Structure 1
């Protein structure tokens, strides 16, 4: 199997357990894996107990035959579903995770791992943003994308989705870290967004094996990966009880800078951000200011005609006149409507056009 080198990491992941609760102030001791990973499978019951491992993890580590069987079963299911695997030592393993003792032993992925090679920045916030939060999340995320960052977020409702969509709108790959397995995507209404991420050269990541649905502890676990991957974390809106604050706490405990956007003083969705700012987070009061803090300049890549058909170029030329519906493009280019619709999908995937309300299409700043 092409994933054979991942077997010991899959065994370790199974031994750890995929439902173990993790928090910034109480990481799992098994994750502090200095030295060779195989050493964990040769320790005695006493040695495992001395290392402070929970009883369930000790039992799994000592059950060597079952551990191998479970790892092989996960491997077969991974290949059957067409997923990829990353593990420490893999050429595409995120460099941001290399020094993190709390990093997962293995990551499942769909999409393009090279999306991890760019500067990564994490954008998180409430699942129920206010109109102010929607506007702020969109504008800050667009600025980061134009500054050359690949946005990392959790594919959740609300700010996460806004961050991903802002990246896609501006032709930038984006990375989604799920709180479920890749084949049990949550929330289900974001399946089309996930497909858009893949079409645009982005990446879906999960530490959960095939078949694992989202559960109560899966999102706090996922949040540490969000914190680790980005060079920093931006919190758009958050209540005082928001799980978003867990992401910020993971980042702060690992020396990652955190920015928070202030909001109306009476808004519950701003209180989490105000708390972070009082506790030392950087003030994100304008997208240009955030780019300045990061020493980034907005980038507008040159438009390339490579891979575009004559019809694609005609459609782009017609869209110079402003937002246009497909039937008008069909008439103007003297082409069948189905060919025009196919052309628009190609141009959308390349980030050259975007769909507006009312079935209108418009050029992006990249075209």
Structure 2
């Protein structure tokens, strides 16, 4: 990405009241570089308000220059856009992914398979212990731990990954040079020094603001294969992250707790509503391992490394296909998650029969259950 491209992305990102959806609409018309060079009339014809036009043409330069100076001030500073190789591919699946991410640390860490761990700032001792132990286990098995650097569950999750000599990523509701809360500055330094990253969509010196944290939460879930809620009350910010995860088609996991403790009411409710109950770290890893494997395969494909699946239904001969159980159903499962109701519609097989057949195929290792449905097990 050239400097002029970066300048254009920063300019649009900083334009007041211009959100991700509006930016996506603009990008469907022209490139950021061309758009910021439009005349006032052309910009207004694109739907921009006079104040937005004025910012792009007159006021953006100081903000952009400040960010470029920050970028040049350290080898640990990165600014990534959807044009950058370091922009996380999972994030592009979000309906309104951030146009710019500021990274302090190793931006390549964003490409690691990740599990988000979130929960209460006022967690119990058991909750804090669980956050550390689950995080330690995830990091020990090569999965990065993502959280929000908050007090309580977040901080212990980051610490558990660091103790395992693993990677952890902290997504901030402030700029990466304005660590909040202040008592976690030392933790933030350890994250960077150990090969992790601090990430924010806000300019590096931005102060924390209440409205920033829901936006931070959508990035936490957007970076991750799944979200584990360790301990949360009914009206908890962690449940916002869980809601974003569901919208982004991510798996949601929750630790069960006492029905007499209001601090567990949110996680218990999540389980009641369909979240996967996690009693140990392996419960989570068993669910996301197929997704992690597919993520690695996808990354290899993008890098032009050929991946040769050992099992490919479409390339089998009719005789080979008939030798497999339920060939009609199997022929309608592909490499993208397909839900049971769609399979029933395609095959004209009743849903209850689809459920029995798909279970048998899963037990035989021919298909994998993932968030959103079933996929072929191409590595069988």
Normalising by structure 2, what TM-score? Answer: 0.69
Report Cα offsets for 1:158-205 as digits up to 9, x if no partner. 111111100000010111111111111111111111111111111111
Point out where structure 2 has 5 or more consecutive residues left out of the alignment: 291-380
Cα distance, 1:8–1:67 mapped onto 2, change above 3 Å: farther
- The answer to whether the Cα contact below 8 Å between 2:170 and 2:198 also exists between their aligned partners in 1 is yes
- The answer to whether the Cα contact below 8 Å between 1:31 and 1:104 also exists between their aligned partners in 2 is no
Q: Is the deviation greater in 251-260 or in 40-49?
A: 40-49
Deviation of residue 62 (structure 1)? Answer: 5.3
2:188 is matched with which residue? Answer: 194
Report Cα offsets for 1:215-250 as digits up to 9, x if no partner. 111111111100100011110011111111111111
Cα distance, 1:69–1:152 mapped onto 2, change above 3 Å: same
2:349 is matched with which residue? Answer: none
Instruction: Find out whether 1:143 has 2:149 as its counterpart.
Output: no
Q: 1:142-291 residue pairs with structure 2 within 5 A?
A: 142-291=136-285
Cα distance, 1:47–1:233 mapped onto 2, change above 3 Å: same
1:75 is matched with which residue? Answer: 67
Q: Distance in 2 between the 1:100 and 1:74 partners?
A: 28
User: Aligned to 2:91, which of 94, 97, 119?
Assistant: 97
Report Cα offsets for 1:240-297 as digits up to 9, x if no partner. 111111111111011111111111111111111112112221111222222222238x
Q: 1:112-127 residue pairs with structure 2 within 5 A?
A: 112-127=106-121
- The answer to whether the Cα contact below 8 Å between 2:12 and 2:23 also exists between their aligned partners in 1 is no
Report Cα offsets for 1:20-48 as digits up to 9, x if no partner. 8xxxxxx8532434534426544543541
Q: Distance in 2 between the 1:228 and 1:31 partners?
A: 18
- The answer to whether the Cα contact below 8 Å between 1:16 and 1:30 also exists between their aligned partners in 2 is no
2:302 is matched with which residue? Answer: none
Q: Distance in 2 between the 1:77 and 1:105 partners?
A: 19
User: Aligned to 1:128, which of 99, 122, 129?
Assistant: 122
Deviation of residue 77 (structure 1)? Answer: 3.6
Report Cα offsets for 1:90-123 as digits up to 9, x if no partner. 1111111123231111111111112123211111
Cα distance, 1:16–1:258 mapped onto 2, change above 3 Å: farther
Q: Distance in 2 between the 1:63 and 1:219 partners?
A: 25
SS in 2 for 1:234: strand
Higher relative contact order (CA 8 A, sep 6+): 1
Instruction: Find out whether 1:30 has 2:22 as its counterpart.
Output: yes
1:346 is matched with which residue? Answer: none
Normalising by structure 1, what TM-score? Answer: 0.71
Q: Distance in 2 between the 1:254 and 1:229 partners?
A: 10
Runs of 4+ in 1 over 6 A off after TM superposition: none
Q: Distance in 1 between the 2:55 and 2:134 partners?
A: 49
Deviation of residue 208 (structure 1)? Answer: 0.9
SS in 2 for 1:182: coil
- The answer to whether the Cα contact below 8 Å between 1:74 and 1:210 also exists between their aligned partners in 2 is no
Point out where structure 1 has 5 or more consecutive residues left out of the alignment: 21-26, 50-54, 297-367
Q: Distance in 2 between the 1:46 and 1:62 partners?
A: 14
Deviation of residue 2 (structure 1)? Answer: 6.7
Deviation of residue 80 (structure 1)? Answer: 5.7
Q: Distance in 2 between the 1:67 and 1:189 partners?
A: 35
Instruction: Find out whether 1:10 has 2:4 as its counterpart.
Output: no
Q: Distance in 1 between the 2:272 and 2:24 partners?
A: 32
SS in 1 for 2:177: helix
SS in 1 for 2:86: coil
Give the number of equivalent residue pairs.
281
Q: Distance in 2 between the 1:90 and 1:76 partners?
A: 16
- The answer to whether the Cα contact below 8 Å between 1:74 and 1:209 also exists between their aligned partners in 2 is no
